[in-house]
A = this chain, B = another copy of it.
Amino acid sequence: MRYELYYWSGIQGRGEFVRLALEDAGADYVDVAREEGDDAILRYLDGVHEGPLPFAPPFLKAGRLLIAQTANILEYLGCKLSLAPESESARLYANQLQLTIADLVAEVHDSHHPIASSLYYEDQREEALRRAGDLRTQRLPKFLDHFEQVLERGGGHALRRHSYVDLSLFQLVSGLSYAFPRAMQRLHPDLPLLHALHASVAKRPRIAAYLASSRRVPFNESGIFRHYPELDDPA
């Protein structure tokens, strides 16, 4: 099966959670918009095809299936790529954790775009300063302490074994460390398991090769995790 991933070509964004699963599993896939341009995505958003209608990328074509929403794609791939546990209870938990990661990712996005996605950062900078302050002092500790507890229960993994959730936690820590280096440094002592997981995922051979390749789009200020120093902890 050759998977087709559709995601904006210039950013990691939400597509990166899917890319990491495909890369870690050594799956055969094509990153369509990076080959053909972002218009390949727009055709599906315009609904010129039959069947399921995606609201936004990322979406994945897998044979006749078209699957949108990051957590939904990962639930599907987790099963196909042996990146999810087998029991019903553990699969439900995997999906739950992925959705909680998605909630934090949305909050991170809104920390630089608290008013409107369609406006420039500069046009909502004052509001962003306020919202990012709340994110750094209230929401980040709350979410990350939760994930630390989850890892404690799972013996260092989200789900007692390697899974797509571990890969997503890796991406979360990577993105947050890029966007908020000072805040993440402050929180570091309380998150030993999360940082240990981050380090061990980075060393997985296929992930290490991927991160060193040109397939990994560098973090940048068009993506979800943006480094605006004024939104981080004061120096």
Contacts and interface: CB of A to CB of B under 8 A. Distances in A.
A143 B55 contact: yes
A68 B96 contact: yes
Contact of A72 (B96, B116, B130): B96
Interface in A54-73: 54-55, 64-65, 67-69, 71-72
B64 A89 contact: yes
A199 interface: no
A138 B119 CA distance: 11
Main secondary structure of the interface of A (DSSP, over half): helix
Nearest to A92: B67
A218 interface: no
A178 B72 CA distance: 30
Interface residues of A, number: 42
Contacts of A88: 65
A53 to B, nearest CB: 6
Interface in A88-125: 88-89, 92-93, 95-96, 99-100, 103, 106, 110, 114-116, 118-119, 124
